Amino acid sequence: MQINFDKKKEKIAKRKTEIAASTIMTDDECNDGESCAKCNYEISSSAAALMLNNVYHPEHVLCSKCEKCLDGFSMFVKKNNEPICLLCHKSTSVCKACNLALDDDDVIFEMGEKWHRSCFVCAACKQPFMNFVYFIQNCKPYCLKHSQN
């Protein structure tokens, strides 16, 4: 069965979910002349992998944290346009404000969430809280001045 490669890429690109899977394509589904997004060499083997709207050699579909191979059945999370396996994703704490990984030395726990110290600021003026006093409105922290608006 011949599958139109461009339509397959388009279908995956339209997915709105954060969790995705790599797709291993067989010889029937691959277009000759495609190059791997990782190494830029032509994919001339009997299989290719389609992930995050790019084509790869199957051995180049890896978790960007642990470098575990993400085969056609592996689920992953797209973070900064790179795949992270679900195990690495679950073990990584991220800041409530910026969604970047937290370093244990620079983390605070407020409002039931983890934040970078520099990210825990007034939602309106983006300034740090004086004497660490803040007010919560609509699940966001505000300084005294902006909590009254």
How much is the mean pLDDT over the chain? 77
Measured CA distances, 19 to 9, 55, 68 (Å): 16, 18, 17
pLDDT at residue 119 in the model: 95
Domain residue spans in the chain? Answer: 5-91, 104-147
Query: What is the pLDDT averaged over residues 56-65?
Result: 84
With beta carbons less than 8 A apart as the criterion, state whether 20 and 76 touch.
yes
Instruction: Give the pLDDT confidence score for residue 13 in this predicted structure.
Output: 47
Fold (CATH) for 5-91: Cysteine Rich Protein (2.10.110)
Q: How far apart are CA 130 and CA 10, in angstroms?
A: 49
- What pLDDT sits at residue 12? 43
Nearest to 105 by CA among 122, 93, 88, 89: 93
Q: What is the pLDDT of residues 7-48, one digit of tens each?
A: 545 544 443 334 455 555 555 555 557 888 889 988 876 677
**Cα 103 to the center of its chain, rounded Å:** 18
Dihedral sign from CA coordinates of 45, 49, 52, 53: positive
Q: Which residue has the higher pLDDT, 10 or 52?
A: 52
pTM exceeding the 0.85 threshold for the entire prediction: no
Q: What is the CATH number of domain 104-147?
A: 2.10.110.10
Domains 5-91 and 104-147 share a fold: yes
Q: Which of 116, 138, 113, 111 is nearest to 128 (CA)?
A: 116
